[in-house]
Every structure is written in C-alpha cells, then in structure tokens.
Amino acid sequence: MTCRRGALIVLEGVDKAGKTTQCNKLIQALLENEQPAEMMRFPERTTMIGQLINSYLEKKSNLEDHTVHLLFSANRWEQVPLMKEKLEQGITLVVDRYAFSGVAFTSAKPGFTLDWCKNPDVGLPKPDLVMFLNVSPSEAARRGHFGTERYETSVFQRAVQQGFEELMKDSSVNWQVIGASRNIEDVHADIKNHTIEAITTAMTQPIGHLWK
C-alpha cells in the first residue's frame, strides 16, 4: 500500500528573518495548488506549557535556563500526536520554528553545550525539509526594531546564528539555506520549489525520528 502522508516542512532563522510571512505565503500557495496544508508554530503559546513560556518570553516571570529549555521541548512533544495524525491524513505541516530554534537559542546562553540542548528533542518527528532563512543579524535588526521580548537583542541573535550554523553541519537533516535578504516574492519562489520536491519525496517514506 502506498503511504501518501503529508510532509513536515520547517522554517528556521534568527528573529526578523521573515519566517512567519513566508510560512503564510507557503500555506496559501499550497492550498491554491490543492495540496492540503496547515501551519503550526513553536512555541505554541496556547497550551498550559505554552502559557508558562509566553510569560517567560514577555518577561512577566523568570524561569531557570535549563527548566525553560525543557519546557520549550515539552511544548513540542505535547503536539506530536496531533502532528502525526495530520501527517498521516496527508496534510503537509508548515512549521514556524522547531527543535533547531530550541537548540540555537539555549546554546547561545553561557554554559550550554549543543549536545545537552539537543537531547530532549531526540526522536521528535523528523522534518522532511528544514529551510534556514539566512539574513545577517545586523540586517535583521535593520528591518525594524526588535520587540521587547527576551532574546531580542543583536548580541544574542549573533550567538543564535552561530548555533544554527553548527546545527547545519549535520547532514542527517535535510537543510536548505535560503538567501532571505531578497524580496519576499523571490524568497517565496525558492521556498515553494523546495517544498514541492520535499512533498513528493515524503509521500512514499515513513516519518523519521530527529537526531536518532
């Protein structure tokens, strides 16, 4: 029996790289092509765990650094049954941030190794494609002011970029670097092409396990 599952597509990048805009445009394009698709985002702030994370990001509460890392991971795991259900129904999921943001952001803090940061996310559904929207942090800053949430400073974002660069050396993940300093339509065209290819490949393959 042919398994025609949906694909798990992730967009990553530093803050202000244009991920949310591009996720929305990609969903719209897929739906116009009669390809079932839904958007997800992490952190998913609506759950109980998501509310703890939201309050931390908005600086309304403080959480110990290891603890908040594990909460971000738990916030992904709690969505796994839903993600699998959708993928198995043939729905392609376009995800705004995933475990890679988790690792890149925490490992930008002093005292955290990449390995420690990856561990809680080992075994999550493996994305069929991860597109890294590449803009330099200084350019991201030029696009508009960072907000007032935690981590939204140029210095921190530079460290995050280095974390992503380390993660992209791992060839077990299907990374595509997208030059995201170009205009929105050109970036979208690239993203759409890579996604269509990934959907075709994923159709006949089981869902993999991340970093396993």
CB of 62 to ligand NYM, least distance (A): 15
Structure tokens belonging to residue 170: 């791992």
| CA neighbor of 5 nearest in space, from 198, 210, 164 | 198
Nearer of residues 105 and 132 to ligand NYM, judged by Cβ = 105
CB closer to ligand NYM out of 156 and 175: 156
Q: How far apart are CA 46 and CA 196, in angstroms?
A: 30
Residue 6 or 18 with smaller CB distance to ligand NYM: 18
Task: Name the residue whose CB lies closest to ligand NYM.
Answer: 102
Judged by CB, which is closer to ligand NYM: 96, or 199?
96
Beta carbons of 202 and 127 less than 8 angstroms apart: no
Closer Cβ to ligand NYM, 24 or 35, answer by number: 24
In the DSSP assignment, the letter for residue 91 is P
**Rounded Cα gap, residues 142 and 165, in angstroms:** 21
Smallest distance, Å, CB 125 to ligand NYM? 15
Binding region for ligand NYM (CB under 6 A): 15, 42-43, 57, 72, 97, 101-102, 105, 151
| Closest distance to ligand NYM from the beta carbon of 101 (Å) | 4
Query: How far apart are alpha carbons 100 and 175 in whole angstroms?
Result: 11
Give the separation between CA 111 and CA 116, rounded to whole angstroms: 10
Q: How far is the CB of 72 from ligand NYM (least distance, A)?
A: 3
